[in-house]
Chain A
């Protein structure tokens, strides 16, 4: 039982390049989330998906797009990377949308130069 799996673990991009961060969960959870974590800022929600087929913006969605490919997978795309997007990205999932714990992946450390 792997839980939440993110790929890649590390990535270096040049400004303007695009990439997709992949996330998959094997717990049959309905809801999935993308957060970024920056020093001194805490985790901030980028996008979330309450259920398969739905996505919505979080606190810091600018510069990102998401796709809920199916119940298991939720990807995050950077169309034109900027240095301000240098961060650690975490995917999370939860069984429901109320009173429920979130399970996090191990993170993707992204550097944009």
Chain B
């Protein structure tokens, strides 16, 4: 069955550094992949969508790459700030209808 893996351990980095989060998947070739941010007690908030024919996508301080050969997406936050502290979820479309399969998320903590 399809499996999505994100680092379960929290990622702690210093303010101003670049945070890099990893999403690996197996047994599927999604047409697109999405990244969401989730704060405690809140619903996920969409950040970026990248299609299978796109290698890289940027939005302000965010950058996502999508390597369909490695079956991996990397999510980068440059010049990180304490306000970036949250859990970041990777999601793959599966079976059409924009039905998403989510990873368990990686908690990011940006320290002063």
Contact = CB atoms under 8 A, between A and B. Distances in A.
Interface residues of B, number: 25
B103 A90 contact: no
A2 interface: no
Interface residues of A, number: 30
Given A96-B98, A97-B98, A104 B44 contact: yes
Given A43-B44, A90-B43, A102 B98 contact: yes
Contacts of B49: 99-101
Interface of A: 4, 31, 33, 35, 40-45, 48, 50, 56, 58-59, 90, 92, 94, 96-107
28 contacts: A4-B43, A31-B97, A33-B100, A40-B104, A41-B104, A42-B101, A42-B102, A42-B105, A43-B89, A44-B102, A48-B99, A59-B101, A90-B44, A92-B43, A94-B98, A97-B97, A98-B96, A99-B31, A99-B49, A99-B98, A100-B49, A100-B98, A104-B43, A104-B44, A105-B43, A106-B42, A107-B42, A107-B43
